Chain A
Amino acid sequence: MKLKRRRLKRGRIEIIPMIDTIVILLIFYMTFSRFAEAGKENGLKLPDSRAGDEFKQLPNQVIINMYSKDEVYIDKQKYTVDEVPPFLQHIREKDPRYAKMSLILRGNRDMTYADLSAFMKACAKAKIADVTFTTQEIQ
């Protein structure tokens, strides 16, 4: 019996699905690179304000995400406010970029002045005077 040999299909690159895939990957990476921006906590509810400049982070600035004096996040790591000065001192000694360190406070709108006061004392302990408060533009 003579077997019929299948003719091999000539392979070709499908352009349109490739473009679809590339666009999806592009949107995916664009989105998550923004979410992962410089250790921002996404669950925080920032206080509202009308004044203020556009948010930008300088190389010598460290972002402090604060829910209360017992719940402070720096680069996704949880600290208490008392643990912040030694940590800042540690990274200041380790990285010359932070020799003239300043802080960006992303505080939760529900925290109290007692929490803010504890943060200010921590700043004084770490000998940091430049603090930027992050707010959310009133819609």
Chain B
Amino acid sequence: MKFQRRTPKRGRVEIIPMIDTILILLIFYMSFSTFSAKEKRIDSRLPLIAKASATAPTKVALDLAIHVFNKDRITVNGAEYEPTGLRDAMLQLASIGQEATIVIEGDADTSYQAVISALDACAQAHLTNVAFRPLTEKVTPATK
């Protein structure tokens, strides 16, 4: 008996499904690359100015006053710190007492990034009792 030999089909690259697949992969990677910048949250409790101004400043337990001049100049209770060294300083100060009240203040032209960096340093040292002093209020030295 003579067997009929099958003629092998000539292979070819299917262009249209390949374009579909590439497009889907492109959309997928484009979408998820957007989310790679992960958002974080740092909680704080702002002072209610109406109440704060009604009370005498001496009654405020002001332990640490961080003044952010700009991204390169930060003072803690008058002592100047490098922005990179602020975290270590906060850790050192936190070791003295976790209950420290921190008031962050800045100049009118201080950048928000610099303020958040100071807040970040506090958060890294687990100092959570942080408040901000609005511009109109006078800066008073730390008093116990």
Identify the A interface with B (CB < 8 A). Answer: 20, 23-24, 27-28, 30-31, 34-35, 46-56, 104, 107-117, 120-121, 123-124, 127-137, 139
Contacts and interface: CB of A to CB of B under 8 A. Distances in A.
Contacts of B35: 34
Contacts, number: 150
A111 B117 CA distance: 14
B106 A113 contact: yes
B54 to A, nearest CB: 12
A interface: dominant SS: mixed
A129 B46 contact: yes
Given A47-B117, A113-B68, A139-B37, A27 B28 contact: yes
A135 B117 CA distance: 10
Given A113-B135, A120-B46, A136 B38 contact: yes
Interface stretch (B56-64, B74-82, B119-127): B119-127
Interface residues of B, number: 42
Interface stretch (B2-10, B95-103, B108-116): B108-116
B41 A47 contact: no
Given A113-B111, A124-B50, 4 more contacts: A52-B41, A111-B111, A117-B108, A117-B134
A110 B111 contact: yes
B143 interface: no
